[in-house]
Amino acid sequence: MRKIIIKISILFIIAMASGCKDYLDLPPKNQRAVASLSDVESVLAGYLDAFTRSNTQPIKGTMPIMTEAQNMMFEAYSDNIDFEANFSQYVNVQNIHADEKFYANKLLYNDFTTMEQIWNNHYEVIGFLNALIDECDELEGENEQEVKRVKGEMLVHRAYYIYKLQQYFAPMDKEDMGIPLYLHTGKEVMGVEMKRRPSSEVYSAIISDLNLALEYIDEAGKKSGFNIFYDKRFINNLLSQVYWFKAASSAKADSDYKNAATHAKAAIEGVEMYVPKSLIEFQNIRRNLNPEYPSVYMQSVAFGTVAPIYGSTFDYLGFAPSNLKVSDDLRELFEEDEYRTEAYFNGPALSSAWPDGMANGQKYVRMNLFAPEEAYLVLAESLLHTGQQGQAMDVLNTFKAFRGASEKSGLSEEELQQEIINERRKEFFCDTDKRWIDLKRYKIGNIKRTLEFFGKEYTVEVTPGDFHSTLPVPLSEIQENPNIVPHEGWDPIVF
């Protein structure tokens, strides 16, 4: 049996200038031979530990799975916050959280460092998982059920990273511009050209991994205390998202919305009792105080790390940024009686206590992966697009009732679609990448900012579906990989 050699502390030694091929095809390097199931589990545990403890860095990837820099970048690239109105709070001598260059890069769509980190980190983890999945396929004389449980966990993680890369770096309407992809490692990949794959091929790989993981769960079940993403509810939730996003892309198929609805229903089966229905329950979810809430929770470590965008943790002492104004069209979506209004806002401004109700604003990245709320809204939209408008309205109103919002009736198909988009915007306000993803998927949003940095005025304009909706392939990848086709339009600003 071929042995894979792995160094536990640093699995791959890869320069940041390496192309994605170097992440996907590098045989793992020296120090420990992974030759048994227990070896695979040991190495995998070094990656999974970060998903169970917020103070642990994984041997590959980042903790949390979306970093503070990424969270702030996607919000800066979106239309929720009125950055022009808040500019004097951001570039302010009382702001101890970030400097002028930070805001110049974020607010002018010039954060090439963070965009490159996403590309490198995601491909690095995929390469790591490729190596261990390949090794699982070569194990002999091991407990077959246990191998399935371990491999199933890795299949879901790999599918997640591939899906996010496809969402970020592939255009919605160009079938031949999917991400580079290879699902093996070692000698099999020698000579393979890491070029863009058709988007339909990328989605097929994602869906195949997730369906195989579902099969493994039916055959072998879960391993309590070890499996995290390898959960039937979470896999169905992710599948519903994949089909939902694919349905609006060049890779769309007639069955996408039907499949999205099927998996969304499976994801929310029996969860209604756990969905927050009051302000305190809603805030407790953000603080991870409800152990029965069905999601994978992650939180960043350092206090105040997202304060540069969302407001100073010391605003009560007079530090900036504070009293940050959100976009008028966003604020107008909220009814005064729904409890999300109190959770998010203090009048027209972002509340210091957002999002968890804690005094002085506990500014961490907090995320609930595979949350049932996302499956509810995917289900409503999928029912609408499969000719079940009445059922779509029922699901949407059920969801609105969870949040204390008024139910809707008598809406046309177009109005109902817009109401679902609006509900997504309210529910996922400042949640990871979700608003940026919606701007891309629905081809909506006009953003124009004129801001002065370092004594010079800059204007950025974003129109629905333009190049800003697809992150640029890093320059290092373009230099290392002659087969990659870059996106047009992304020209770095040098300050």
Residue written as token pair 């709070």: 89
Whole-structure pTM value: 0.94
**pLDDT tens-digit profile of 254-300?**
999 999 999 999 999 999 999 999 999 999 999 999 999 999 999 99
Judge whether 30 and 11 are in contact, CB under 8 Å.
no
State the pLDDT confidence band at 415, using cuts at 50, 70 and 90: very high
Give the helix ranges, DSSP H, for 247-323.
Answer: 256-268, 279-286, 307-310
pLDDT at 377 > cutoff 80: yes
Q: What percentage of the chain reaches a pLDDT higher than 70?
A: 92
Supply the pLDDT for residue 188.
Answer: 54
pLDDT given for residue 28 in this prediction: 44
Q: Which tokens sit at 494?
A: 């040098």
CA–CA gap between residue 3 and residue 19 (Å, rounded): 25
**What is the rounded CA–CA span in Å between residue 266 and residue 378?**
12
Confidence at residue 224, expressed as pLDDT on a 0 to 100 scale: 86
3-class secondary structure, 286:
helix
The 10s digit of each residue's pLDDT in 199-217 is 999 999 999 999 999 999 9
Distance (Å, rounded) from C-alpha 430 to C-alpha 310? 9
Q: Compute the average pLDDT of residues 323-347.
A: 96
For residue 5, is pLDDT > 50?
Answer: no
In which band, very low, low, confident or very high, does the pLDDT at 15 lie, cut at 50, 70 and 90? Answer: very low
Q: What is the pLDDT of residue 34?
A: 73
Q: What is the DSSP string of 367-436?
A: EEET-HHHHHHHHHHHHHHTT-HHHHHHHHHHHHHHTTPPP--S--HHHHHHHHHHHHHHHTTT-TTHHH
Degrees to nearest 5, angle at CA 242 with 299 and 421 = 80
Give just the sign of the alpha carbon dihedral 19, 25, 31, 36.
positive
